[in-house]
Amino acid sequence: MCGIMGYVGNRQAAGILIDGLRRLEYRGYDSTGIAVLHDGAIALERSKGKLAELERKVAGQDLRGTIGIGHTRWATHGKPSDENAHPHGSEHVVVVHNGIIENYMELRGKLIEAGFTFRSETDTETIPLLIEYHLRNRLSFEEAVLTTLSEIEGTFALVMISSAEPGKIIAAKNASPLIVGIGKNENFVASDIPALLSHTRDVAILEDGDVAVITQNSFKIMDFSGKTVPRKPTHITWSRVMAEKEGFKHFMLKEIHEQPRAIIDTLRGRLTEGNGHIVLDETEFTDADVANVERIVLVACGTSYHAALVAKFWIEGLARIPVEVDLASEFRYRRPCVHDRVLFVSISQSGETADTLAAIDEAKKLGAKIFSVCNVVGSSIPRKSDHVFYTHAGPEIGVASTKAFTTQLVALAILALYLAKRRNTLDRKEIRDHVHTLLGLPLVIEQTLKSSEDALRVTDRFFEAEHFLYLGRGSSYPIALEGALKLKEISYIHAEGYAGGEMKHGPIALIDEHMPVVVLASGGPTLSKMVSNLEEVRARGGNIIAVMTEGDERIQKLSTATISIPKVGDFIRPIVEVVPLQFLAYQIADKRGTDVDQPRNLAKSVTVE
Ligand code: M6R
């Protein structure tokens, strides 16, 4: 949460900072601000609201300076306002911060006693004031920052400049992401890769406990005690174009359409047609590792949690290994039965979700091996893991996860098949058939995307409804949950996902003509039971939107509206069924005029607990 951008070089910083913040806005958008340093003076501009507000404020101003820092905020301490917007400053220092300073009340008290005045309600403002305090005691900028780091507790990505030592950015990381971008005669620092792609693809990824001192032509990385630590630069393969809308109205729409390509990238090099060869290339499981797995615990948040729920069906069904699924935020606060014969699988698009990271720490402490499914290369979760499966979906900018979800599902399906093969729970033909099905998936998704037209027709009729119910059974039940989550997060319509069999146990009381019921009825062993659900909804005057296999007249007759998908088998059904639900949510939200890519109160990666 919160996006940070810093620049030092020979170009004017303000435009570069604003451009970087635009690409980080998905991380938070309650307020924004930039500070630039010129001729020994710091100029600061901040604004409540989205980046466009800040751009309006700075338009026509001569904000000169070839070094600066910027921030786009997701509020934790203090409401979104001009005063609480970052950067926060003192006489000689400005700071941007992502995270939470837990002991800020105590530090605030001490600083007030020492004669400092606070202008905001934020925890962050303690930092520039503490640094200022140490500068007054004749410490250098670097020494003042290191001393401050020894006094603060909590999570942070901090980026700072000082008029006392112009030409230098100092950045520090503890639990919130930060990346140094390495340019020619210029350097950058940012919360995430998309902010850097227009300038460089060479980066140094900071680890927890790192401090970077960045100038126009150099950067050094040390620990909080000031000792230099080596960090090898990494070359990023994502291109700038991948992080742009390319003519689509919203990133979400672009990302929905990108799914066939993204799935091809997830599959690339991992499956071989014909001989059923399966490789988890970033992952080396020894025979002993595979034999050792007694149970698998899948942990994630939000949409990634829904992927975990689907994976339970695959891993138990194909590899016959018992699976537990837990929300990361719940896992660490109970006493989980995890030990060294448990394979702990974490799933995360961003690789930075605080709850998931904390759950991994807990599982590691209990002796489990960590396998991660992640999209962002080099992010914190893969760095903490023993085994990593990168989905290679490319940057996902829309806050509502789409291609990240379907590629996670593909990765988890491959993991299930891999384990089935290594544990001999499927025969060769079965493995070959499943591999064949997965390799054909991009084409099936391509055909499914055409169902957008159907989804549009449905939207016209139902976009004003205030409540939706989603029903699914088996591995389509998590897809019902995902469909409901997509709708609520971007359209602000109340939506609930239920297992079809549970309808009679409560939700049926809600059914009337005002609450559309989205039913996943494209096939599977429980299709006849879903048909009973349709009958029950119809008998109570409810409106049914059915996701069905094309040409299924029985479902068509029972439904108010239908969205067709191609005929597929049970293995890939959940991956295919989610696509029309993504479209449905998108079309409804767009018709209601919400901010689809940046829905209210949300942020793309949740780096606070
Ligand atoms: O980056 P992660 O996959 O760990 O993020 C988990 C959730 O925050 C995320 O899936 C969230 O629920 C999305 N906004 C859903 O669209």
Establish whether residue 391 lines the binding site of ligand 1, counting it when its CB lies within 6 angstroms of any ligand atom. no
Tell me the C-alpha distance between 244 and 395, whole Å: 9
Establish whether residue 431 lines the binding site of ligand 1, counting it when its CB lies within 6 angstroms of any ligand atom. no
Measured over the CA atoms of residue 314, residue 315, residue 320 and residue 322, the dihedral's sign is: negative
CA of 356, closest atom in ligand 1: 4
Establish whether residue 605 lines the binding site of ligand 1, counting it when its CB lies within 6 angstroms of any ligand atom. yes
What is the pLDDT at residue 535?
Answer: 92
Percent of the residues in the chain that have a pLDDT greater than 70, as a whole number? 99
Residue 369: active-site member: no
Q: Could you tell me the pLDDT band of residue 281, with boundaries at 50, 70 and 90?
A: low
Is residue 512 scored above 70 in pLDDT?
yes
Give the number of C-alpha atoms closer than 13 A to the C-alpha of residue 600, restricted to the C-beta side. 8
Is residue 139 scored above 70 in pLDDT?
yes
Condensed to tens digits (0 to 9), the pLDDT of residues 446-459 reads 999 987 777 777 88
Pocket test for ligand 1, best of 191, 250, 301, 489 (most atoms within 8 A of CB): 301
Q: Could you tell me the pLDDT band of residue 604, with boundaries at 50, 70 and 90?
A: confident
Strands 387-390 and 369-374: parallel
Q: How many CB atoms lie under 10 A from the CB of residue 334?
A: 9
- Find the mean pLDDT for residues 369-373: 96
Return the structure tokens found at 69.
Answer: 């820092």
Establish whether residue 398 lines the binding site of ligand 1, counting it when its CB lies within 6 angstroms of any ligand atom. no
Pocket test for ligand 1, best of 304, 356, 488 (most atoms within 8 A of CB): 304
Establish whether residue 489 lines the binding site of ligand 1, counting it when its CB lies within 6 angstroms of any ligand atom. yes
Instruction: Give the amino acid at 59.
Output: A
Give the number of C-alpha atoms closer than 13 A to the C-alpha of residue 534, restricted to the C-beta side. 25
CA of 303, closest atom in ligand 1: 10
Average the pLDDT over each of 124-133, 174-183, 268-277 and give the range with the smallest value.
268-277
Instruction: Give the amino acid at 211.
Output: V
Atom 11 of ligand 1: nearest residue by CA position: 302
What is the pLDDT at residue 450?
Answer: 85
Return the structure tokens found at 270.
Answer: 């991992």
CA of 404, closest atom in ligand 1: 3
Establish whether residue 582 lines the binding site of ligand 1, counting it when its CB lies within 6 angstroms of any ligand atom. no
Q: Count of residues for the chain?
A: 609
Establish whether residue 301 lines the binding site of ligand 1, counting it when its CB lies within 6 angstroms of any ligand atom. yes
Atom 16 of ligand 1: nearest residue by CA position: 400
Is residue 148 scored above 90 in pLDDT?
yes
Condensed to tens digits (0 to 9), the pLDDT of residues 225-235 reads 999 999 989 99
Establish whether residue 303 lines the binding site of ligand 1, counting it when its CB lies within 6 angstroms of any ligand atom. yes
Establish whether residue 348 lines the binding site of ligand 1, counting it when its CB lies within 6 angstroms of any ligand atom. yes
Residue 529: active-site member: no
CA dist 120 → 33, 129, 451 (Å): 14, 12, 50
Name the packing angle between helices 259-267 and 428-449 (round to 10°).
Answer: 160
Atom 12 of ligand 1: nearest residue by CA position: 302
Q: Could you tell me the pLDDT band of residue 474, with boundaries at 50, 70 and 90?
A: very high
Instruction: Compare 570 and 507 and report the one with higher pLDDT.
Output: 570
Return the structure tokens found at 358.
Answer: 């904390």
Establish whether residue 302 lines the binding site of ligand 1, counting it when its CB lies within 6 angstroms of any ligand atom. yes
Establish whether residue 329 lines the binding site of ligand 1, counting it when its CB lies within 6 angstroms of any ligand atom. no
Tell me the C-alpha distance between 12 and 15, whole Å: 7
**Cα 539 to ligand 1 centroid, rounded to whole Å:** 37
Condensed to tens digits (0 to 9), the pLDDT of residues 386-397 reads 999 999 998 898
Is residue 28 scored above 90 in pLDDT?
no
Establish whether residue 101 lines the binding site of ligand 1, counting it when its CB lies within 6 angstroms of any ligand atom. no
Is residue 337 scored above 90 in pLDDT?
yes
Condensed to tens digits (0 to 9), the pLDDT of residues 541-585 reads 999 999 999 999 999 999 999 999 999 999 999 999 999 999 999
Return the structure tokens found at 556.
Answer: 């068509």
CA of 402, closest atom in ligand 1: 16
Helices and strands of the chain, counted as H and E runs: 19, 26
What is the pLDDT at residue 553?
Answer: 94
Establish whether residue 585 lines the binding site of ligand 1, counting it when its CB lies within 6 angstroms of any ligand atom. no
Pocket test for ligand 1, best of 192, 327, 350, 380 (most atoms within 8 A of CB): 350
**Cα 554 to ligand 1 centroid, rounded to whole Å:** 36
Tell me the C-alpha distance between 434 and 405, whole Å: 20
Atom 14 of ligand 1: nearest residue by CA position: 400
C-alpha dihedral over 416, 418, 424, 429, to 10 degrees?
Answer: 90
The answer to whether the beta carbons of residues 67 and 7 sit under 8 Å apart is yes
Choose the catalytic residue: 2, 50, 168, 384: 2
CA dist 570 → 39, 310, 424 (Å): 66, 12, 21
Instruction: Compare 394 and 212 and report the one with higher pLDDT.
Output: 212
Tell me what the pLDDT averaged over the chain comes to: 93
Condensed to tens digits (0 to 9), the pLDDT of residues 388-437 reads 999 999 889 899 999 999 999 999 999 999 999 999 999 999 999 999 99
Tell me the C-alpha distance between 492 and 98, whole Å: 27
Is pTM beyond 0.85 here?
A: no
Establish whether residue 606 lines the binding site of ligand 1, counting it when its CB lies within 6 angstroms of any ligand atom. yes
Establish whether residue 45 lines the binding site of ligand 1, counting it when its CB lies within 6 angstroms of any ligand atom. no
**Cα 165 to ligand 1 centroid, rounded to whole Å:** 40
What is the pLDDT at residue 26?
Answer: 79
Pocket test for ligand 1, best of 1, 309, 310, 353 (most atoms within 8 A of CB): 353
| Element spanning 170, H or E | strand 169-174
Pocket test for ligand 1, best of 255, 299, 303 (most atoms within 8 A of CB): 303
CA of 602, closest atom in ligand 1: 14
**Cα 430 to ligand 1 centroid, rounded to whole Å:** 33
Choose the catalytic residue: 48, 50, 488, 604: 604
